[in-house]
Amino acid sequence: MLHVTDIRDHKEAYIQALTKRNFEASAIFDQVLELDEKRRSTQASLDNTLAESNKLSKEIGMLFKNGEAQKANLLKERTGKLKEDSKNLQEVLSATVEELEQLLYTIPNIPQDSVPAGKSDEDNEEVFRKGDVPVLAEGSLPHWELAKKYDIIDFELGTKVTGAGFPVYKGKGARLQRALINYFLDKNTAAGYNEVQVPHLVNEASGFGTGQLPDKEGQMYHIGIDDLYLIPTAEVPVTNMFRDSLLEEKDLPITCTGYTPCFRREAGSYGAHVRGLNRLHQFDKVEIVRIEKAEDSDAALDGMVEHVKMILDELKLPYRILRLCGGDLGFTSTLTYDFEVFSTAQDRWLEISSVSNFKTFQANRLKLRYRDAEGNKQLAHTLNGSSLALPRVLAGILENYQTEDGINIPEVLIPYCGFDKI
């Protein structure tokens, strides 16, 4: 979340910047500053009350020691009143801090200057494109028909076992899925990312830490009896490994990669665009996460973009990169690049990765800081990216690599698969 001090110091600039998100911030900023003023004044009153109470307690002790019990008892009446006042002030302070925090949770991150204005994904800005769209033979099929034809993904069986959006991968389909996971992890670790295996369930504090709560609560699967959430992405548990941490500058950057299944309710998603692997409730993804110093995070984001580009170049899939506009920018992000692969059989672009810089937005929630060379405590910058999300990458491979006599495997994946054609 945003820091109150930053809102106070940059109020008008932040109001203007948030118009890119079509977010009216003026009234809510006024509320934030009023509550913060109330918090500060209440804290000052509480501090003064406690200080006076402590002072009187020492005086009472000395009076009793000197045999002046009558004076001591008179002062004890005053300390009783001070204790009651401090209790009331503490209650007001706690309620004010809670109200302020809940209000701050509703304010999205400030977009960077390079983020274009816009209302929806139609206003996103294409910044890069590479790869020729293959010309498929007449009668080429979308991936869900290919999956059925070659018996590699069974959507009906997944519906039987669980429900729609939970496919079963079979035979060479399962092996190709595993090959992609291993390939992505190998590329990430070769680039210096430290591989981690993390829980697939997180607590509420973790959801708040990375900004999924309260913004995306309706999209997460919640296990009520244990008050735990199935993860929507590995970003949540990986980043929360560093919640409530004070790092040393010499230890930065911290870079992690991890594979997890991801679970999303995708409430309200209907229509032809969600067929097959296009949109699922459970899917596999390999994630990269970075914790950086403030001055290094912009360059780190550029490096992450280049890293994902390299993987797609090796897979030889036609793709493009979009800079998300304010209206399509994620709640916690200050700048996001989306990667999309072209689905030839569907004649449309499919999102396969989002690479984002959150700057201090998540770190402020997480209380994730580092001690700089001068010994000062600074909020870290956090970044994450899909490297990569599997369902649509797999859809792109099946559709773009299909031939009249089968589906070719990208050359870079053959050693991982153990076969070169389905």
5 is in an annotated binding site: no
pLDDT at 270: 53
Are 4-106 and 121-417 equal in CATH topology? no
Euclidean distance between CA atoms 328 and 379, whole angstroms: 26
264 is in an annotated binding site: yes
204 is in an annotated binding site: no
CATH of 4-106, one of 3.30.950.10, 1.10.287.40, 3.30.70.100, 1.20.1740.10: 1.10.287.40
Residue pointed to by tokens 């491979």: 397
CA–CA distances in Å: residue 385 to residues 3, 101, 152, 292, 363: 24, 27, 28, 14, 16
Domain ranges of the chain: 4-106, 121-417
pLDDT at 75: 67
Kind of pairing, strands 377-379 and 406-407? unpaired
pLDDT at 136: 82
Number of Cβ atoms within 10 Å of the Cβ of 234: 26
pLDDT at 72: 65
* Residue 70: strand pairing partners: none
Q: Report the predicted TM-score, pTM, of the whole model to 2 decimal places.
A: 0.91
pLDDT at 269: 54
Q: Which residues contact 340 (CB under 8 A, 6 or more apart)?
A: 319, 320, 321, 322, 349, 350, 351, 352
Euclidean distance between CA atoms 189 and 311, whole angstroms: 13
Euclidean distance between CA atoms 353 and 311, whole angstroms: 11
Enter the DSSP assignment of 420: S
For residue 380, give the nearest of 251, 225, 199 by alpha carbon. 251
Euclidean distance between CA atoms 349 and 360, whole angstroms: 32
40 is in an annotated binding site: no
Enter the DSSP assignment of 271: S
CATH of 121-417, one of 3.40.50.720, 1.10.1040.10, 3.40.640.10, 3.30.930.10: 3.30.930.10
68 is in an annotated binding site: no
Contact 288, 196 (CB under 8 A): no
Supply 33's token pair: 């500053």
| Cα–Cα–Cα angle for 381, 384, 385, rounded to 5 degrees | 155
As a whole number of Å, the end-to-end CA separation of the chain is: 48
The low-confidence residues of the chain, meaning pLDDT below 70, are 61, 63-65, 68-76, 267-273
* Residue 194: strand pairing partners: 256
Helix (H, G, I), strand (E, B) or coil at 257: strand
360 is in an annotated binding site: no
CA–CA distances in Å: residue 381 to residues 98, 198, 294, 296: 25, 21, 6, 9
pLDDT, one tens digit per residue, over 244-257 is 999 999 999 999 99
96 is in an annotated binding site: no
352 is in an annotated binding site: yes
User: Between 26-65 and 69-104, two packed helices, what is the crossing angle to 10 degrees?
Assistant: 160
pLDDT at 271: 52
pLDDT at 57: 73
